[in-house]
């Protein structure tokens, strides 16, 4: 990870995915374009991946060429949330979500810096083209017991920020279904609440449906061992379905393990349509309508100016991809 915010060694990205696992680092080929366009409602273009990382504009150009019309760019700490908000301000195909990731909250709390970080998120949430608070939530997989109080406190604060600014909430829930649901019900979920990378089973899909919570499926829904997830997909009402890449992670089949990117969203969408025994274009149209209901239209708030006319301080770090 690049810790110096001024370092720009990876195109326009400010983070670098750990590549020590011996993966295939080549980007998969472009899929056949979709007839009906969709949006990727959760991606991390600030994280560089691959042998030859792609800048965010190249990423979005590739996405556009296969019918992925736009993305929600998601931050996970102060720096990446600032980057996301700044990039969305100058890039018409990008809207932003801002948050402190649940796995970042405990260390900030220990350092006495969580409240300051939340104050920055609250400020960013008020900016144009910031349409969601996320990803926030609970992660009992990566955070040990002693960090959980900080996670709860941070999650509850994010719920309040989302409601205060009337923004959608994007939830990260890893091995914490019951606690996430309990927190949402106790604090009061925002009107538009999205489980990013939905990981529950059919029962949880029914519960979410009862609350009107959206379920966003990622590339792992195509994995061979994901029968439980596909059962949840089958159970989820179509009007609550969303699709995402969570790029550069969770690359759909047949490219599992290789760098993921928004242009690979059609692979996930096609996998979902096949499982649901429905037409890809019908599903795309439904999901696009859902996405615009949750976040609004991508052109609802204009970009501020052309990229190249921006003062450097207002662009994402090293933003000229």
Residue nearest to Zn ion (CB): 246
**Least distance to Zn ion, CB of residue 126, Å:** 22
The residue among 60 and 280 lying less far from Zn ion, judged by its C-beta, is: 60
The residue among 195 and 263 lying less far from Zn ion, judged by its C-beta, is: 195
What the block records as the tokens of 7 is: 């370092």
Q: How far apart are CA 212 and CA 240, in angstroms?
A: 7
Count the site residues for Zn ion by CB under 5 A: 1
**Least distance to Zn ion, CB of residue 228, Å:** 20
Q: Is the C-alpha dihedral spanning 119, 121, 124, 130 positive or negative?
A: negative
**Least distance to Zn ion, CB of residue 50, Å:** 17
The residue among 99 and 189 lying less far from Zn ion, judged by its C-beta, is: 99
Exposure b/e, 39-67, CB count within 10 A at least 16 = b? bbbbbbbbbbbbeebbbbbbbbebbbebb
**Least distance to Zn ion, CB of residue 170, Å:** 8
Q: How far apart are CA 207 and CA 217, in angstroms?
A: 16
Site for Zn ion in 84-143 (CB under 5 A): none
Site for Zn ion in 192-251 (CB under 5 A): 246
The residue among 60 and 303 lying less far from Zn ion, judged by its C-beta, is: 60
Tell me the residue ranges of DSSP E strands in the chain.
15-16, 38-43, 47-48, 68-74, 94-98, 130-139, 168-174, 193-195, 214-217, 241-243
The residue among 109 and 246 lying less far from Zn ion, judged by its C-beta, is: 246
Three-state DSSP at 202 gives: helix
**Least distance to Zn ion, CB of residue 100, Å:** 13
Binding mask 36-75 for Zn ion (x = CB under 5 A): ----------------------------------------
Question: Quick one: which H or E segment has residue 46?
Answer: none
What the block records as the tokens of 94 is: 């990008």
Q: Which residues bind Zn ion (CB under 5 A)?
A: 246
């Amino acid at each position: 990870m690049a810790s110096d915010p001024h370092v720009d060694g990876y195109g326009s990205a400010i983070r670098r995915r750990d590549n020590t696992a011996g993966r295939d680092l080549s980007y998969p080929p472009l899929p056949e374009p979709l007839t009906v366009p969709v949006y990727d409602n959760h991606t991390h273009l600030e994280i560089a991946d691959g042998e030859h990382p792609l800048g965010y504009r190249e990423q979005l150009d590739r996405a556009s060429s296969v019918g992925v019309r736009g993305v929600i760019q998601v931050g996970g700490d102060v720096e990446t949330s600032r980057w996301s908000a700044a990039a969305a301000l100058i890039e018409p195909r990008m809207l932003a979500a801002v948050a402190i990731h649940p796995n970042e909250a405990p260390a900030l709390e220990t350092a006495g810096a969580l409240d300051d970080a939340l104050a920055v998120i609250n400020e960013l949430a008020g900016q144009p083209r910031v349409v969601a608070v996320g990803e926030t939530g609970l992660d009992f997989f990566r955070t040990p017991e002693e960090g959980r109080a900080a996670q709860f406190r941070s999650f509850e604060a994010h719920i309040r920020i989302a409601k205060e600014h009337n923004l959608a909430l994007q939830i990260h829930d890893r091995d914490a279904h019951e606690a996430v649901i309990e927190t949402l019900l106790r604090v009061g979920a925002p009107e538009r609440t999205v489980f990013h990378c939905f990981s529950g089973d059919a029962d949880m899909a029914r519960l979410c449906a009862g609350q009107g919570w959206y379920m966003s499926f990622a590339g792992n829904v195509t994995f061979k061992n994901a029968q439980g997830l596909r059962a949840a997909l089958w159970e989820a009402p179509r009007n609550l379905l969303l699709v995402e890449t969570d790029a550069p992670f969770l690359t759909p089949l047949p490219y599992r393990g290789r760098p993921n990117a928004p242009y690979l969203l059609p692979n996930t969408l096609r996998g979902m349509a096949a499982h649901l025994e429905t037409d890809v274009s019908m599903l795309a149209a439904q999901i696009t309508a859902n996405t615009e209901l949750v976040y609004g239209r991508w052109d609802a708030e204009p970009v501020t100016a052309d990229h190249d006319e921006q003062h450097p301080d207002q662009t994402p770090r090293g933003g000229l991809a």
